[in-house]
Amino acid sequence: MRILTGIQASGKPHLGNILGAIIPAIELSKQPGNDSFLFIADLHTLTSLKEGESIRNNTLSVAAAWLAFGFDTEKNYFYRQSKLAPYHTELMWYLNCFTPFPMLANAHSFKDKAEKLSDVNAGLFTYPVLQAADIVLYDAQIIPVGKDQRQHIEMTRDIANSVNKKYNKDIFVLPDAKINEEVMTIPGVDGAKMSKSLNNYIDIFLPESELLKQIKKIVTDTTALENPKDPDQDITFKLYQLMASKSEIAEMRANYLAGGYGYGHAKQALFNLMLNYFKEAREKFDFYMSHPELIEEKLQIGEKKVKPIAEATIARIRAEFKF
Ligand code: ADP
Ligand code: TRP
């Protein structure tokens, strides 16, 4: 199967991104017979972020995170959308001409921001068409994404299908979204969904003392140290459960229920667990961040490797227009 997913260069990946998206996508890429296309959607990032330095730093940290968790860039495809911009944007134009206006007007990505239309740039409005181009350009079949992206994949199918219908041949592959419903929403330090925009995230790549500070910000109730506590209502326990072994979870649960075990102890245990669980990833992340030239090299190899695939798709569609 040909798997493809894009990640915006909008910040450094946090614990929610890592457990919810990065690790599952890497697992998928390791299954025999799967080819994974993983790219940094830096053209999409421009809809919200215009500072080159930030885009560059975010691109590096997103790429370093994927490498730190073992994405095999030799077996798979790893690239920046901007480096193949001529293909992505050319195809986007063709797809624009097959996209009904009301479809875009109904996109959540646009509607969520549509109260103040003067703040909406045309890039944000046509964002789903660029995403459709990203996908059909590489004949991708399976698109692993979060629930919020379901509509964009459906739009991709509709747009691609209307091209195929018009010319009565399978010019584009129609993709399916793979939405892992059971991947739980990872809570942030305040208990709401962990998110960059809510500023409630845990950055697993921070130096130890800063990581501990973030963990200490986890909100707890006011049950006294000596009293029993309900593990299932507690954010620290919820996070601990995502990474600990069965016996560690059972032990922590018993500690909560017994009393005499404070939230401070639990947070320290979560901190120790995370240092251990992410030991290798933290080291690799730091290594890549201090060797951006290695990231650059891997991306450039990937960009060369995907180019012929993009060219072939463009040739297929151009042929229909006699261009
Ligand atoms: P953010 O909300 O921090 O801006 P993004 O929307 O960029 O994160 O999400 C990138 C990927 O990480 C998506 O696939 C998304 O489903 C996943 N993801 C983000 N936050 C969480 C979370 N709290 N729990 C599980 N998965 C998450
Ligand atoms: N819109 C996606 C997001 O914000 C990123 C993205 C761009 C993407 N192009 C894609 C995801 C193609 C999957 C396939 O998360």
SS (H, E, C) the chain: CEEEEEEECCCCCCHHHHHHHHHHHHHHHHCCCCEEEEEEEHHHHCCCCCCHHHHHHHHHHHHHHHHHCCCCCCCCEEEEHHHHHHHHHHHHHHHHCCCCHHHHHCCHHHHCCCCCHHHCCHHHHHHHHHHHHHHHCCCCCEEECCHHHHHHHHHHHHHHHHHHHHHCCCCCCCCEEECCCCCCCCECCCCCECCCCCCCCCCCCCCHHHHHHHHHCCCCCCCCCCCCCCHHHCHHHHHHHHHCCHHHHHHHHHHHHHCCCCHHHHHHHHHHHHHHHCHHHHHHHHHHHCCHHHHHHHHHHHHHHHHHHHHHHHHHHHHHHCC
The rounded Å distance from CA 263 to ligand 1 centre is 27
Residue 54, classified by CB atoms within 10 Å of its CB into exposed (0-12), middle (13-18) or buried (19+), is middle
Say how far apart CA 146 and CA 153 lie, in whole Å: 11
* Percent of the chain with pLDDT strictly greater than 70: 99
Quick check: CB of 215 below 6 Å from ligand 2?
no
Q: How far apart are CA 101 and CA 113, in angstroms?
A: 17
Q: How far is ligand 2, taken at its centre, from the CA of residue 131, in Å?
A: 6
CA dist 323 and 266 (Å) reads 65
Asked whether 135 lines ligand 2 (CB < 6 A), one says yes
| 113 — pLDDT class (breaks 50, 70, 90) | confident
Q: Is 146 in the pocket of ligand 1 (CB under 6 A)?
A: yes
Closest residue to atom 14 of ligand 2, CA basis: 5
- pLDDT tens per residue, range 41-87: 999 999 999 999 999 999 999 999 999 999 999 999 999 999 999 99
Residue 33: band (very low, low, confident or very high) from pLDDT cuts 50, 70, 90: very high
pLDDT in tens, 222-276: 999 999 999 999 999 999 999 999 999 999 999 999 999 999 999 999 999 999 9
Cα(294) to centroid of ligand 2, in Å? 25
List the residue whose alpha carbon is closest to atom 4 of ligand 2: 8
Q: Which CATH class is domain 2-183+292-321?
A: alpha beta
CB-ligand 1 contact for 16 (6 Å cutoff): yes
CB 236 within 8 A of CB 266: yes
Distance 65 CA to ligand 1 centre (A): 14
Domain boundaries, the chain: 2-183+292-321, 208-281
Q: How confident is the model at residue 182 (pLDDT cuts 50, 70, 90)?
A: low
Q: What is the rounded CA–CA span in Å between residue 291 and residue 179? A: 34
Whole-angstrom distance, CA of residue 191 vs CA of residue 236: 9
Percent of the chain with pLDDT over 90: 93
Residue nearest to atom 11 of ligand 2 (CA): 6
Rounded Cα distance, 255 and 58, in Å: 40
| Structure tokens, 88 | 């992505």
Q: Would the CB of 6 count as within 6 Å of ligand 2? A: yes
Q: Which atom of ligand 1 is nearest to the CA of 147?
A: 16
Q: From the CA of 235, how far away is ligand 1's center (Å)?
A: 18
| Contact between residue 225 and residue 260 where contact means Cβ atoms under 8 Å apart | yes
Are domains 2-183+292-321 and 208-281 of this chain identical in fold? no
Ligand 1 midpoint to CA 297 (Å): 27
Q: How far is the CA of 222 from the centre of ligand 2 (A)?
A: 41
What whole-number distance in Å separates Cα of residue 213 and Cα of residue 322? 61
At residue 177, φ and ψ (nearest 5 deg) are: -80, 145
- What CATH architecture does domain 208-281 belong to? Orthogonal Bundle (1.10)
Confidence of residue 148 (pLDDT cuts 50, 70, 90): confident
Residue 130 Cβ inside 6 Å of ligand 2? The answer reads no
